[in-house]
């Protein structure tokens, strides 16, 4: 009877641990499928049914408890394994897309080390005993915590980059602004407009740098963005080039003659 009571307590405890595991994994932004929540509901329902059988002195209730315990342990292990690998992929992708991170090489090495440890845990999954499963779960949990630490460094780096890049935009614009003012070729309204553009650029960099959505856009459409920027630069350059070319030709008294075809010439006329 004492053994049966212990089995009840063990199964009840395992269901509570599964619920805590779901909360733990979601704290790290690991998207868990809805099936895991449905699985927990089914196991709780089966647990209640097993207790009813035991109350009616139906011995199959104890077999149901053992099946529940096995299913819960295997599911917990599978979810930790999937969560560790999912978070590994997400962290690596985030590091690559965030091109303004200073410590990419060091963080990349840390991610590689975590990946090796995850593969080692995968290869050691041989024991089906609860103690062996729990040991593997704890190892996966350690790797998830390590990846969570890297994610925290991402957040700090984002805050640093947002402020740092905005300040750089302002500081790098000061020499340009001084040069424009010293040249004396621009009136006050143009200088004020330029100052407004500087502050607008700093504000835009603060609002976009470090934002995951902006990183996603850059990662997905980097080739398209580069193509658009190249076209804009080419148009600006070509416009300035032709304007300067026209001014140069006028200064040197060049006359550009565009040949035309005289439509009055018939096909019988001879060209001399």
Q: What is the tens place of the pLDDT at every residue in 126-158?
A: 777 888 899 999 999 999 999 998 888 887 777
What value does the mean pLDDT take over residues 26-47? Answer: 80
The count of other CB atoms within 10 Å of the CB of residue 30 is: 19
Per-residue confidence at 271, pLDDT binned at 50, 70, 90? Answer: very low
Q: Are 75 and 40 in contact (CB under 8 A)?
A: no
Q: Which residues, including other chains, have CB under 8 Å from residue 245's CB and lie 6 or more apart? A: none
CB-count burial class (<10 Å; 0-12, 13-18, 19+) for 43: buried
Q: Is residue 109 over pLDDT 70?
A: yes
Angle made by CA atoms 208, 223, 197, in degrees to the nearest 5? 40
CA 89, distance to chain mean position in Å, is: 10
Highest mean pLDDT among 27-31, 203-207, 216-220: 203-207
Which of 5-9, 189-193, 205-209 is predicted least confidently? 205-209
Give me the pLDDT at residue 93, please: 83
Q: What is the pLDDT of residues 67-79, one digit of tens each?
A: 999 999 999 999 9
Q: Which residues, including other chains, have CB under 8 Å from residue 93's CB and lie 6 or more apart? A: 219
Per-residue confidence at 272, pLDDT binned at 50, 70, 90? Answer: very low
Torsion, CA 140, CA 143, CA 149, CA 153, rounded to 10: -130
Query: Percent of the chain having pLDDT more than 90?
Result: 21
Task: Kindly report the pTM of this predicted structure.
Answer: 0.64
Q: Is 184 helix (H, G, I), strand (E, B) or coil?
A: coil
**What are the structure tokens assigned to 116, written together?**
């090796």
């Amino acid at each position: 009877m004492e053994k049966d009571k212990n089995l009840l307590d063990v199964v009840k405890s395992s269901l509570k641990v599964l619920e805590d595991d779901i909360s733990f994994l979601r704290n790290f932004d690991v998207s868990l499928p809805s099936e895991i929540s449905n699985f927990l509901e089914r196991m709780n329902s089966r647990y209640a049914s097993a207790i009813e059988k035991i109350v009616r002195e139906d011995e199959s209730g104890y077999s149901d408890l053992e099946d529940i315990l096995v299913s819960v342990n295997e599911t917990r292990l599978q979810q930790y394994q999937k969560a560790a690998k999912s978070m590994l992929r997400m962290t690596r992708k985030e590091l690559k897309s965030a091109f303004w991170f200073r410590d990419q090489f060091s963080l990349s090495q840390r991610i590689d080390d975590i990946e090796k440890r995850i593969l080692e845990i995968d290869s050691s999954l041989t024991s089906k005993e609860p103690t062996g499963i729990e040991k593997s779960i704890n190892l996966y949990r350690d790797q998830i915590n390590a990846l969570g630490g890297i994610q925290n460094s991402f957040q700090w780096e984002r805050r640093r980059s947002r402020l740092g890049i905005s300040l750089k935009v302002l500081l790098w614009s000061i020499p340009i602004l001084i040069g424009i003012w010293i040249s004396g070729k621009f009136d006050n309204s143009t200088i004020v407009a330029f100052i407004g553009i500087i502050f607008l650029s700093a504000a835009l960099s603060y609002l976009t740098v470090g934002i995951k959505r902006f990183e996603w856009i850059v990662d997905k459409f980097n080739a398209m963005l580069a193509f658009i920027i190249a076209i804009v630069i080419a148009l600006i350059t070509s416009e300035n080039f032709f304007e300067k070319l026209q001014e140069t030709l006028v200064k040197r008294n060049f006359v550009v003659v565009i040949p035309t075809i005289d439509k009055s010439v018939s096909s019988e006329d001879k060209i001399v």
